[in-house]
Homo-oligomer: A and B are copies of this chain.
Amino acid sequence: MASVCLLKPVRWSIWSISWFIKNRPSSILRGVQFRKISIIGVGLLGGSIGLAVRQRRLVGEVAGFVRRQTSLQDCEQAGAVDYATTDLLAAVSKADLVILCTPLAQMRALVRQFLPALERGAIVTDVGSVKAGVVRELEPLVARSGGFFVGSHPMAGSEKTGVLAARPELYQGTVCVITPTKKSHSSSVRRLEQFWKMLGARTLRLAPAQHDLLVSRTSHLPHVAAAALAGLVLDPRHPKSQTDLCASGFRDTTRIASGSPEMWRDIVMANHRNLSRSVDKLVAELKKFQTALQNGNVKAVECFLNQAKVRRDRWSSEAKILSSK
């Protein structure tokens, strides 16, 4: 009898363990334990975070703050959050991770507003495309309320906007830059890195100013070039057949010009010094090409085209290797 008594609990334990392994929340398995994340601004980026963490059950609860009543229904329809609210303090209350997903210019005011509800020890991050200003402003502000601010820039997006365009795999295979400072809380930096990795991103640490310099070239300059091209080529004063001659090359080169003007206005204004220098460099490249063209310098023209192809093909093959890892 004694052996049976002993066996029974053992049997139950094994069953319990196997049941637990089978049904464990993936948050425990994967080592991230955010009880509640709060997404401030549930658009394409915020909504895609919500969809990804909810689908993978990475956090206990996902709250979403939106400004407009109509956005509440969109959030519900997209299934991007557990609950959406227009009450900022309620959205932030008890959250251990708060992610700012609004246009850059709104972040500071929103943080000031929600600080009274911020949990001590909570991590606050953002998804803004320019980091130096945001980090400089928000890091001390959040620290004063006992929270930890660390900047993020997931290099993901689309020319589409709004929560209805959100998709759970948006961050899969992308790079997410984390911009810690000397004052950053190191375990918060690590937890944040782990969070983005679980959304499928590869993380990269850069100083905020270095980040801003590099993205002024890789992201903000292409946006400006695409917008300049689209505005110029599609000028309604051109003959009607002008638009008929825009084919797939034009479509792809200008795709990002269809992005949100409000969002991009904030980005380019926040990074105006770096971007202005990058525009100078692009203009210099174009002028160099034009001079070769006007002089009938076929060698120089070919060299310009060839250099671009070689560099882009190399990048493209390396990027493929990285994304397939």
A interface residues (Cβ-Cβ under 8 A, vs B): 155-158, 174-175, 177, 204, 206, 210-211, 214-215, 217-219, 221-236, 238-239, 241-262, 264-265, 268-269, 272, 275-276, 279-283, 285-287, 289-290, 293-294, 296, 298, 301-302, 304-309, 311-316, 318-319
Contacts and interface: CB of A to CB of B under 8 A. Distances in A.
A252 B253 contact: yes
B293 A262 contact: no
Contact of A245 (B214, B244, B276, B308): B214
Contact of A316 (B219, B251, B296): B251
Nearest to A206: B241
B290 A276 contact: yes
A322 to B, nearest CB: 8
A244 B206 CA distance: 11
Copies of this protein in the assembly total 2
Contacts of A219: 245, 247, 249-250
A223 B283 CA distance: 15
A153 B290 CA distance: 24
Contact of A293 (B225, B257, B276): B276
Given A253-B225, A253-B256, A218 B245 contact: yes
Q: What are the nearest 3 A-B pairs in CB distance?
A: A227-B308, A234-B311, A261-B305
A282 B248 CA distance: 20
Given A177-B245, A243-B318, A231 B307 contact: yes
Contacts of A252: 252-253, 255-256
Contacts of A302: 261-262, 265
11 contacts: A210-B241, A214-B239, A219-B250, A224-B286, A229-B282, A231-B307, A232-B281, A234-B312, A258-B309, A269-B296, A272-B293
Given A253-B253, A276-B290, A311-B231, A155 B225 contact: no
